[in-house]
Chains A and B, each alone.
Chain A
Amino acid sequence: MGGLAHIIESEGIPTTQISLIRTHTEKMRPPRALAVPFELGRPLGAPNEPAFQRRVLEEVLKLLERPAGPVLEDFADAPPVADVEADAEGWACPVNFAAPMVDISDADLVYQSLLQEVNLLRPWYEEAVRTFNRSAFGISGKTPEEIARVIADVLIDPAGTAPPIDGETIGTGFKRMADDLRYFYTEAAIAKPDQRSTDLEVANWLWGETTLGKVLAAIRDASMESEEPSLKRLAPTAMVPTHQRHRTRHG
């Protein structure tokens, strides 16, 4: 981010930026930056908090009116905490799943198990689309059913699976599909009204309590050792979030 600021400002256009990792900004010294105390992925603080988002935006834009720099300011306030009932026990998935499959050695059975999960989640996914008026599902251009089939096949025979998206490697095609299906599950999981979820809670459920999570972790393990370069390249950091890698053999 700081690099872009240097480049664009040196081309003659003033820049200002939000900084999520203050130490990076201290080192890179871009012209103007507002360091915010928010989690990664939420540079404006919180969803559906327009007044708060607006304050952040005004503060970062106001840095453009400073007479000299570099300027690195702090935005001190934490994002607003939702009004959750005191007795609420935090987030819970709206659907009760059976435990994830134990034996995941048969592609057809894995596919059937993934389909069951997709079918249970679909009404909640649809609810999420209505509630949020948006969906990030669709990167791969495939349906959840098509994705489930490919994921089951990659699990059993990673290098032998045909590239699932025309013109892309197995790794890129698989990555887009796996991200898509995780988005589908995640959007469904946060659809229930009046529940504030955290990324970590939803991830603990997806990676710990669903067949999809178990299968994706197993694919990551296989990809670490795979001869297929496009899978091997993505395996270390782009398949499983750092906070879920304890579930994998390679960590």
Chain B
Amino acid sequence: MVHLSQLPDHLRDALVNQELPDYESTPWVAAKPLAESRIAIISTAGLHRREDSPFVAGAGDYRVIPDDADMDALMMSHVSTNFDRTGFFQDVNTSFPIDRLHELVEDGFIGSAAARHYSFMGATPPAVMEPVARDLAGLLKQDHVDAVLLVPV
């Protein structure tokens, strides 16, 4: 895969001109200072533990990635063939910056890492993902998560 700007026009247009939902306004919740914040990562790279079932095309569900999981055993079963995986093959942090997040906790840049992180498979229609994501927000609150870092792929 090459950077978007180097793609042939028709491929770039197909990617960029996807149908996107319209939002009339942007919600805004004031965040706590970073040094006091508990942070969860939500990836859309189709990541999961080896023992979990792979993603299926069109699925709006997610997989749980416990903070103490063996991150080098994470799998990627995203259905798309159109993004680089060689970076992920060499270093999980290329797409899921879990070791960097833990370092920021050690250095006091953030308060703590959530007990659980999550991965969806992107390219799922928002209408399919929405009820699941609203339910997930409840789980994040139970885990006392103060802010969420969203990472695409």
Contact = CB atoms under 8 A, between A and B. Distances in A.
A71 B138 CA distance: 25
Nearest to A178: B81
Which of under 10, 10 to 19, 20 to 34, or 35 or more describes the interface residues of B?
35 or more
A80 interface: no
A39 B1 contact: yes
A107 interface: no
A251 B113 CA distance: 45
A176 B122 CA distance: 17
Interface residues of A, number: 85
Given A12-B137, A31-B28, A43 B100 contact: no
A40 B85 contact: no
Given A7-B130, A13-B140, A1 B89 contact: no
A91 to B, nearest CB: 10
A240 interface: yes
Interface in B42-95: 42, 44, 50, 54, 56-57, 72-77, 79-95
Interface of A: 1-21, 23-24, 27-31, 37-48, 50, 53-54, 56-58, 60-62, 64-65, 68-70, 128, 132-136, 138-140, 172, 175-176, 179, 183, 186-187, 190, 197-200, 202, 233-234, 237-243
Closest 5 CB pairs of A and B: A41-B84, A41-B83, A11-B137, A47-B91, A17-B150
9 contacts: A9-B27, A13-B145, A43-B152, A44-B100, A70-B26, A132-B91, A179-B77, A183-B85, A242-B81
